Structures are given as C-alpha cells and as structure tokens.
Amino acid sequence: MSILLSLSSTSFAELVNNPSSGSTGTANLNWSSADVSQLLNDEDDEPTIQGSTSVTTTLRGSNAPKVIASAPKLAPIRDTSGYNAQPSVSARAALVMDAQTGEVLFSKNTNASVPIASITKLMTAVVTADARLNMSEEIMLEQIDFAGANGKNSSSTLRVGDKMNRAEVLLFALMKSENPAAAALARTYPGGRPAFVAAMNAKARALGMNATHYYESTGLDPRNVSSARDLGILASTASQYGLIRQFSTTPTYDFNLGYRVLKSNNTNALVRNGGWNINLSKTGYINEAGRCVVMHTTVNSRPAVIVLLGEPSTQARNNDATNLLGWLSNLPKRI
C-alpha cells in the first residue's frame, strides 16, 4: 500500500511508503492536524501520560526473592542472569519486563547507569508529544542542528535548509534516528534547547528514572545516561503515545523533499523484516554506549519491554533481541 503523509496543505515535504512486494493497488492516506492530535491522545483511548506515573516491578526467577518497588522511589532490580533456564546475552545490561504487570522476567546489570546513545530520542519524542505543539508547523534545518554534541559531528542524509513539518521531523528522528532532526525538535521547542533538556530531565524525575540524566536531545553526548531499569519505565510510558508507536515502527519511507527523495529504512532490522509484533522501537549507537535497542512488543498476549544496552555489534544486538523474543514466546501465555 502506498501511503502519503501530508499534515498541511502548505507542507513542503511528503512521505511516501514503498509498496510491499506482491501487493496490488494503491491507496492514499492523508494525515490532518486532527489525525496527529488523535495519535497524540492515543487512538486506543488510553490516557497519554503527561506527568508522573506509577510503575511497579516484581522479580521473576527460580527460587528468587521478590523485589517490589513503585515510582518514583524504585528499589534496585536483582540480576536473574544466573538463574536456571535464563537466556544468555552479550549486552552490558539487559531487561525483559512484563509491561502490564511490571514483572521482571530477565535482568542483567539492570540498575547500572550507562551511556544510551540514540535511545535518548525516545524521551525527545515524549517531551515533543507532551508539549502539544503544532505538528503541521514547517521547520527548516539550520547549521546548528548539524553541530553534533560533545565534539561528535552529526552525519546525516539531511542538509541545512531542508524543510518539513514537525511530524516529519519527528519521524526522521524516531525511524531513521537522524540527529539533526532531534536537534531541531529541541531548538524549536518553546524556550529552545535549554527548556527542552530541562523538560527531558523533569520527565525522567517524574517517572522515577533515578539513574537517568540528559544533556541534549540526540544521544551523541555520552553524558546522556540511563539504566535498563529506567528505560523499561520509559518504553512503557512512550508506548502509550500513538504517534511514537507509529513513527518508531515505520519500516521504510521515501521522504520526498520536492528537490530530492531520501529512501529511508528503520534502524531496527527486526522492525524492517517483520515477524514479531513490535509496538515501539528505538536503536542507538555511539562508541561509549555500544549497540543498544529498546522495544515494546506483544508476545503470547503479553505486552513486554526488551532493553539491550552495550552490545558489541549490530549482529549481536539483533541476535540477542531475537533470542529474547523467542524465549519470551515460550513462557506461559497471558490470559
């Protein structure tokens, strides 16, 4: 199916989804500002979290004591990686959590605060959605958006002067993990970048993400740190925003900027290839963080969050994510 995303009649950029192989016919879907507003409010009529939320976690393991905690003062989660019948991962830190009950199904170094690279962009998306900004407003990318952070340059297929609406900028940031897009979202926030970063840290505190701190909106700065435990909370929160779910799991889009077309794929191969019911996804990489991924998925009617931080390679990250999904599918079904 061919999909056209046009949030306003004056929008300079359009998004066209490539038809899948074997599909017949085409259909256009126009997204109005009201459509985006509905996604921000969540199409499933679940409340979009604007402030703090209550998250309870319990530990699952063979002959393991339970650890129960509630935001904003959550106790550390015990590692389960040494228990019987637990999967093995090469990640520095990992978490598998039942997203509905908060039950911790698997954990490894879950409380360690480590660099998170572009996983940062999940909070960037939440802060953008919470602000209820005009998603049809045109944004032009500026040189400052490409400056990077902490001495790191921001490589991109985007260019200074590119124009698109805010929703398209958010899609670039989530699906393709474009750093200039995430920087532009912070720059165009009311109060600019300082207010945006303050909102990111305020949201983290409200959610009980005690091991988390943000310095900028892209993830290029290795001082952006969090823990697998905290990111489990963030993924559960972000999954309640329809816009974030939709944009982070878009497999592929051709961004038609009018003067060139940017063929873009999701940075998560598990999203691109299909086969798993992934509701939300974000990958990340800088040298200090290694390869990272956060996903919200549904397996055997169980909503679950998977977090992998500090993987040595993309292949290791994909292998561990696939193995954890397979292990999760063999657990008793949720009724």
Count of helices and strands (H, E) across the chain: 9, 15
Cross-strand pairs, 27: none
Is 177 part of the annotated catalytic residue set? yes
Q: Which of 6, 11, 118, 217 is catalytic?
A: 118
Pairwise CA distance, residues 87 & 308, whole Å: 13
Q: Which of 108, 121, 176, 282 is catalytic?
A: 121
Burial class (CB in 10 A: 0-12, 13-18, 19+), 260: exposed
Q: Which of 107, 177, 226, 264 is catalytic?
A: 177
Residue type for 197, please? V
Contact 111, 77 (CB under 8 A): yes
Is 11 part of the annotated catalytic residue set? no
Q: How far is CA 205 from CA 133, 212, 234, 237, in A?
A: 22, 8, 11, 13
Is 121 part of the annotated catalytic residue set? yes
| Runs of H (alpha helix) within 163-215 | 166-175, 179-187, 192-206
Contact 270, 276 (CB under 8 A): yes
Catalytic residues: 118, 121, 177
